[in-house]
Structure 1
Amino acid sequence: MGCCCSKRYFEEENGTIGYRLINGRRYHTLSESAYFGANDDEEAYRLSRYHDAIKEIWGGLFNSPVEEKLSNGARVIDIGCGSGIWILDMAQRYPKSKFVGIDISPILPTENLPPNVKFIQYNVLDGIPCEDSSFDLVHQKFLVGAYTESQWEEKVIPEIIRLARPDGWIELLEGDIIISNGSVTQRVARALHDFMKSRGLYANIGKEVPRMLERTNAFSEIRNQHKIIKLGKKHGKSSEETLRFFTSGLTSSRAGLSAWMNVIPEHYDALVETVSIEAEKYSTQFDQYRVCAHKKI
Structure 2
Amino acid sequence: MGATFSVNDPHYASYPREIAEQEYKNSEERVRPSNPKYEMPDNIADLERLETQHYLMRYLWQSNFEAPVDQVLKSSDAKVLDVGCGHGTWIFELAQEYPNAQFTGIDTESFLPKRESSDNIKFLEHDLQHGLPFADNTFDFVHMRFLTQYISEKTWEDVIVKELVRVAKPGGWIEIIEFDYPHYSAGPKTRKFTKAAMEFLASKGFNGLLSLKLPSFLKATGQVGDIRKHDKSIALGKWAGKVGEFAIQDMSLLVTELRAELSSFMNISEAEYDQLLEDYKQEVEKFKSFFKTHRFFTQKVNVDEKTGMPIL
TM-score normalised according to structure 1 size? 0.82
1:265 aligns with 2:263: no
Q: Which amino acid aligns with 1:171?
A: E
Match of 2:53 among 32, 35, 50: 50
Structure 2 partner of 1:13: none
1:63 aligns with 2:93: no
> What's the CA shift for 1:234?
2.1
Structure 2 partner of 1:163: 167
Q: CA RMSD in A?
A: 1.5
Secondary structure of 1:72's partner?
Answer: coil
Residues 148 and 208, structure 2, Cα contact 8 Å, conserved in 1: yes
Secondary structure of 2:150's partner?
Answer: coil
Aligned partners of 1:82 and 1:45: how far apart in 2?
11
Aligned partners of 1:239 and 1:175: how far apart in 2?
15
Match of 2:196 among 191, 195, 204: 191
Deviations 1:15-67 (A, max 9, x none): xxxxxxxxxxxxxxxxxxxxxxxxxxx9x921012211111111110000000
Q: Which amino acid aligns with 2:131?
A: G
Match of 1:92 among 90, 96, 112: 96
Relative distance call for 1:59 and 1:76 in structure 2 (3 A) is: same
Residues 207 and 289, structure 1, Cα contact 8 Å, conserved in 2: no
Deviations 1:124-178 (A, max 9, x none): 1112211111111111111111121211111001111111010000000000013
Relative distance call for 1:178 and 1:244 in structure 2 (3 A) is: farther
Structure 2 partner of 1:8: none
1:145 aligns with 2:149: yes
Consecutive unaligned residues of structure 1, counting only runs of 5 or more, are: 1-41
Structure 1 residue runs of 4+, over 2 Å off? none
Specify the structure having the higher radius of gyration (Cα).
Answer: 2
Q: Which amino acid aligns with 1:155?
A: V
Structure 2 partner of 1:282: 287
> What's the CA shift for 1:216?
2.1
Deviations 1:61-98 (A, max 9, x none): 00000000111131111111111111111111111011
Corresponding pairs, count: 255
Residues 135 and 168, structure 1, Cα contact 8 Å, conserved in 2: yes
TM-score normalised according to structure 2 size? 0.79
Residues 181 and 282, structure 1, Cα contact 8 Å, conserved in 2: yes
> What's the CA shift for 1:112?
2.2
Consecutive unaligned residues of structure 2, counting only runs of 5 or more, are: 1-44, 303-312
Alignment of 1:161-240 (within 5 A): 161-179=165-183, 180-240=185-245
Secondary structure of 1:60's partner?
Answer: coil
Residues 145 and 203, structure 1, Cα contact 8 Å, conserved in 2: yes
Q: 104-113 or 63-72, which moves further after superposition?
A: 104-113
Aligned partners of 2:146 and 2:226: how far apart in 1?
22
> What's the CA shift for 1:208?
2.0
